[in-house]
Every structure is written in structure tokens, then in C-alpha cells.
Amino acid sequence: MLVTGIQYPVSSISLMSTPSVIIKNLSKSYGKVEAISDISLTVDKGEIFGCIGPDGAGKTTLFRILVTLLVPDNGSASVEGYDVVSDFKKIRKIVGYMPGRFSLYQDLSVEENLKFFASSFKTTIEENYYLIEDIYKQIEPFKKRLAGKLSGGMKQKLALSCALIHKPEILFLDEPTTGVDAVSRKEFWDMLKRLKEWGITIMVSTPYMDEAALCDRVALMQDGEIMSINTPAGIINAHKKPLASVRTNNMFKLVEDLLSMNDCHSAYRFGASVHFTPKSDQLKTEVLLQNLRKLGHNDIEVAPISPEIEDCFMELMTIA
């Protein structure tokens, strides 16, 4: 890690005084559609907090309220102690925001984009260069290229650089990895980890369940409500039902056949296998094997596994 002497990483210093974000009973509707309803959560200083959920879960609405672009119908929210409605000007000075769509000027070059965003925050690229150095270095060879001509991964890096250029206290990243390929997503999360070391609080949303594991804490969201808030490990521990990974020679028919069984709570395809949850509290491997053989499956593998976040998410959806 490069330490410039101007600024030290503060991850070691405890800043657990007041939370960065406090949300109480927040609601917002567009006409009849309730985008978020009665959401409460807190985000601690310096943590990476993930809002995980599909489109329509209310993530973007929540983020827009927090960056003062929308006014909530009910409830209250504050960012670094400032109220999102009455102190919106103060919040705008201290947040970095990356909206869902890559909001760069396509007809400006990489460098021009960065310069522009620096100037709109009354700062210069040089002043906070240490903060974006890691990220910007990767796109610097293309600094004369127009942003519209960059690949998805590079656009994402530029957008993040632009959101960071004024050294915000807290970053709001709304679906930064949506539509981005797996490699760029991985790189992006590595960058977030490094930013965390500078003491910046990061609130990030994503529809990819596997990214939950990379956050300190997550809120699983669906239809405008929070189904669960916990650490990734906490969410997995809260999942009490037994779970098995099942594979046979006929993967196409497997889900259908598992669902037809009496003792089936759920059966979901999961990569190369099917995740099966029985209705009973115990997984009866033998019975399962027998039943599958009866239905014509061979080469059957059944292995008890611990759930992933996605298993938990689907279970929570089913309960709700």
C-alpha cells in the first residue's frame, strides 16, 4: 500500500462513534407503487454495506434518498449526521455517488471527464490523486480515449475515479457491477476493499447474490422491504434448514422430479447441481436416493452442504 504522507489509512483507528448512515422507517411511493416501505438500518463508519436484491427491490430509490435526490414520503434518514432533507447541501459536499447507469460524458475523454468532475467539486486531480491512483493507473494509458469508446470494465473504473476525486467521506455505488463481466466485477470488488482501508464508508447495491460475501454487512431486499440485515456469515448461520447438493445423470429432469416428491420443500438449480431442501428437519439421504432411482436417475450424488447467500435469499423470499 502506498502511503503518501499526506494521508494515512485509518482502518486501524477505531471510528465507531456514530454510524455513517441512520435510516428510520423510511417509505417512498411513486403513485400507487410502493418503492420502499418502512425500511430501517444503520451503516457503521468505514464498513462496506451491501444492499442485495433484484431489480425492483427498491435499491435505487433508497440510494437516491440517501444522496438527497429524492425526498422520502415517511421516516427519516441521515448521512454523517446530516438529515437528507434539511441538510441536503452539506451531504452533497461529502458524498461520492455512482448512479446505476454509468454517468460519464461519452464524448469527453477519460482525462477530461475526471478533470470536469474534479472541478465541479472545486478540487484538482492532483490534490487527491493518492486516493484514485490504484484505479486510475489502470486506465491512464487510455486517458486520451473518449469515455464512450471504453469497455464496460474501464468505464466502471473511470466512473469510480470520478466519484472519488473529491475525497468523499462516504461512497454510494448503485449497482456498479450490473451488466459487467465476471472478471471486471472481481477487479471492482478488489478496488473497494482497498478503498475501505482509507476509512471511506461504502454503501453498495447489487443484484448478484455472490457479491454479498464480499461485504461486511448486507441487507437482503425484495419488493421494497428488507428481508434480513446481517453479516454474510450471520445470514448463512440463520438458515436452519438442511440443504443438499444433488447431481445425477439426468440434470434436465432432476428439478422436476425432486419437486414431485412429498418431502420436497424446494429444489433449485445451482450451477452444475441442484440444491434440495426437504420439508422435514432432517435430510434423509437414503430415501432420496431410492426415490431418484425409482424415477430413473443414475450416478446419483447427494452431499449435505452449507447454504450460500443465494439459498438464504430464496428461502427468505419463500417465507415472505
Q: What is 190-215 written as a DSSP string?
A: HHHHHHHTTT-EEEEEES-GGGGGGS
* Choice between 50 and 153, CB closer to other proteins: 153
- For position 189 contacting other proteins by CB under 8 A, the verdict is no
C-alpha 100: how far from chain center: 12
* Choice between 187 and 197, CB closer to other proteins: 187
Q: How far is the CB of 310 from other proteins (least distance, A)?
A: 5
- For position 95 contacting other proteins by CB under 8 A, the verdict is yes
Q: Which of 82, 97, 136, 189 binds other proteins (CB under 8 A)?
A: 97
Q: How far is the CB of 106 from other proteins (least distance, A)?
A: 7
**Stretch of 55-63, 125-133, 193-201, 296-304 contacting other proteins, by CB under 8 A:** 55-63
- For position 102 contacting other proteins by CB under 8 A, the verdict is yes
Residues 217/45, Cβ–Cβ less than 8 Å: no
- For position 27 contacting other proteins by CB under 8 A, the verdict is no
Q: How far is the CB of 249 from other proteins (least distance, A)?
A: 12
- For position 92 contacting other proteins by CB under 8 A, the verdict is yes
Residues 235/309, Cβ–Cβ less than 8 Å: yes
Distance from the first to the final alpha carbon of the chain: 45
Q: Which of 6, 16, 272, 319 binds other proteins (CB under 8 A)?
A: 272
Q: How far is the CB of 69 from other proteins (least distance, A)?
A: 4
> Which of the residues 62 through 91 are near other proteins (CB under 8 A)?
64, 67-71, 88-89
- For position 115 contacting other proteins by CB under 8 A, the verdict is yes
For residues 273 to 312, the per-residue mask of contacts with other proteins, x marking binding by CB under 8 A and - elsewhere, is -------------------------------------x--
Q: Which of 16, 141, 271, 306 binds other proteins (CB under 8 A)?
A: 271
* Choice between 197 and 208, CB closer to other proteins: 208
> Which of the residues 202 through 261 are near other proteins (CB under 8 A)?
207-209, 222, 252, 255-256
B/e letters for 141-178, b = 16+ CB within 10 Å, e = fewer, are ebeeebbeebeebbbbbbbbbbbbbbbbbbbbbbbbbb
Give 244-264 as a 3 state SS string.
EEEECCCHHHHHHHHHCCCCE
**How many angstroms separate the CA atoms of 173 and 185, rounded?**
13
Residues that bind other proteins (CB under 8 A): 33, 53-57, 64, 67-71, 88-89, 92-93, 95, 97-108, 112, 115-122, 146, 151-153, 162-163, 166, 178-184, 186, 207-209, 222, 252, 255-256, 268-272, 310, 313-314, 317-318
